[in-house]
Amino acid sequence: MECKLIRPTDLDEALAAREEYTDGLPIAGGQSLLVMMRNRLISPGALIDLEPVEALRGIEVQSTGISIGAMNTCRQLIASPVLREEVGVLPSAARQVSSTAVRNLGTIGGNVCHNEPGADLPPVLLALNGRAVLRRRTHGREVPLEEFFTGYFETALEADEILCRIDIEHPNAAGVYLKHAISPEDLAIVGVAAVVVPDSERPGAVAEARIGIGGAAPVPLRASRTEAALKGAVLDEETARAAGELASTEVDTGSDPHASAGYRRKMVAVFVRRALLHAANQMMGNGHGAA
Amino acid sequence: MALLDLKVNGQEAQVEAPDTALLLDVLRERLFLTGAKRGCETSHCGCCTVRVDGMAVHSCVVLAARCQGKEITTVEGCGDGMELDRLQRLFLEHGAVQCGYCGPGMLMAAKALLERNPQPTLDEVKKGLDGNLCRCTGYTPIFDAILAYSRGA
Ligand SMILES: Cc1cc2nc3c(=O)[nH]c(=O)nc-3n(C[C@H](O)[C@H](O)[C@H](O)COP(=O)(O)OP(=O)(O)OC[C@H]3O[C@@H](n4cnc5c(N)ncnc54)[C@H](O)[C@@H]3O)c2cc1C
Ligand code: FES
Ligand code: FES
């Protein structure tokens, strides 16, 4: 059966098509979707092209944070002056996604909806308190990313919904993303994002540290017990080491041909420690910092 | 099926193809432009790299229908079809081509890089070609050819 291509001109048309074609899928950059089709893992009856949909574009600074259209490519995230200035950790992670050709077309929305273990953007967006802004024809809803990533290649996205934007908090914080992979173009064996918010009362201490972990487990996650332990802490070597150890107990690691569960667990400890120390350095280095 | 209006290497072409035809298939099988090679077909190897509006893309994971209204450039668009262009000549001189399977993709990725960044460092060249694998040359001659180009050789 031939797969149809639907090219809506605006979001309303796209949402109507999403409702109509129950065997259809939205196509963003196509970098994962077309590979899945080629490998016969999926065979949608229709592709709904999100490229022409203006409402899914743009990066807007709002009073509460930054709203990023789902169709922004990694290339656009890297080039965005606003993101570089305000949340450097996001373009820095986008730069580490796969290869130039994939970054040229692959989008933030596709990266998040595909939810492939080891993808680079989910841990960062988790650490930035990201929220998925979803729409269906009749209404919309917002889901914190922690609830959006539900399983191995699975998300809370419903069959008639489109992810329109990812909203992140204006961090006033320092942030780092570290990727551990066999080759830089590979998915992460372990990818750790650390975002630290300085304590305005006590120089050197952190009011809050947020840790997003990808690759290590089937689903990207926040290391919430570790985060709780770090509230108000001064991030020195010893604190960061202990945080890494604690974080490694929070992750339900798995084995695959790239790495064993035990190795992944160890690498979580190492990369959480390093990411926290980098982020703390950044925080001390330039006051408000740019996550 | 759909009728697609494409502009490839400056020339307009109309082709009939399935709605979700891939750019690589349309180039090779409808337009007989076999410069872009078929390798992994899963966006890993880069031998299918062409440029769309100047950007290097893996044509095995691009819908041809989306390229309407855009400029598609393949390796056949280098030089004038008879004479090699300067980058192609430098590839030849530096031994950047052994079996040659990666060559068209390497050239197109290199051109996208050099247009964006005419004086790349070695690291920037490596990053610019990170979507292109070569199983023969060990990459060094390819990087050398590109750096020689940027020095005006
Ligand atoms: C060789 C290769 C290497 C890669 N390496 C990495 C890596 O190192 N790090 C990394 O992070 N990623 C990596 N990726 C994944 C890459 O970043 C993908 O392109 C990306 O995850 C998917 O984005 P896309 O825009 O291409 O989405 P598509 O492929 O178009 O879509 C992916 C899925 O999301 C759905 N979807 C997309 N957008 C929306 C939306 N707005 N609303 C609802 N559903 C939507 C689609 O229906 C589909 O199911 C790699 C991919 C390849 C092919
Ligand atoms: S054939 Fe397209 S990347 Fe390998
Ligand atoms: S020359 Fe053979 S793959 Fe590069």
Q: Is the pLDDT of residue A287 over 70?
A: no
Sign of the four-CA dihedral A30, A31, A32, A37: positive
The rounded distance, in Å, linking the Cα atoms of A143 and A134 is: 8
| Residue A196: count of CB within 10 angstroms of its CB | 30
List Cβ neighbours of B124 (8 Å cut-off, separation of 6 or more): B113, B117
CB contact (8 A) between residue B130 and residue A104: no
Q: Is the pLDDT of residue B93 over 60?
A: yes
Ligand 1 neighbours, Cβ below 6 Å, are A 25-33, 35, 50, 70, 97-98, 102, 106-107, 109-111, 113-114, 116, 119-121, 157, 162-163, 186-187; B 43-44
Give residue A156's pLDDT. 98
List Cβ neighbours of A90 (8 Å cut-off, separation of 6 or more): A77, A83, A121, A124, A125, A128, A168, A291
Q: Name the pTM for this structure.
A: 0.96
Q: Which two tokens stand for residue A83?
A: 């993101």
What is the average pLDDT value for chain A, to the nearest integer? 95
Q: Is the pLDDT of residue B91 over 80?
A: yes
Short-list A186, A132, A192, CA closest to A161:
A132
What 8-state DSSP symbol labels residue B63? Answer: B
Evaluate whether A54-168 and A174-286 have a shared fold: no
Query: pLDDT-based confidence at A233, cuts 50/70/90?
Result: very high
Q: What is the CA radius of gyration of chain A?
A: 19
CA distance A50 to chain B (A): 11
Cα–Cα distances in angstroms (integers) from residue B94 to residues A46, B87, B103, B149, B152, in the given order: 47, 10, 13, 11, 14
> Is domain B86-151 in CATH 1.10.3720.10, yes or no?
no
Look at residue B12 and give its three-state secondary structure. Answer: strand
The rounded distance, in Å, linking the Cα atoms of B74 and B104 is: 8
* Ligand 1 atom at shortest distance from the alpha carbon of A119: 11
Instruction: Calculate mean pLDDT across residues A235-254.
Output: 96
Domain ranges of chain A: 4-49, 54-168, 174-286
Q: How many residues does chain B have?
A: 153
- Specify the CATH architecture of the domain A174-286: 2-Layer Sandwich (3.30)
What is the number of the ligand closest to the CA of A95?
1
Domain ranges of chain B: 2-77, 86-151
CATH number for the domain running over A4-49: 3.30.43.10
Short-list A268, A214, A262, CA closest to A245:
A268
CA nearest to B23 within chain A: A34
Task: From chain B, pick out residues whose CB is under 8 angstroms from the CB of A105.
Answer: 57, 61-62
Sole residue written with tokens 């200035």:
A85
Q: Which CATH class is domain A54-168?
A: alpha beta
Give residue A263's pLDDT. 97
Q: Which of A1, A37, A99 to mutate to test the interface with B (most CBs of B within 10 A)?
A: A99
Short-list A136, A179, A147, A114, CA closest to A19:
A136
Q: Which CATH superfamily is domain B2-77 in?
A: Beta-grasp domain (3.10.20.30)
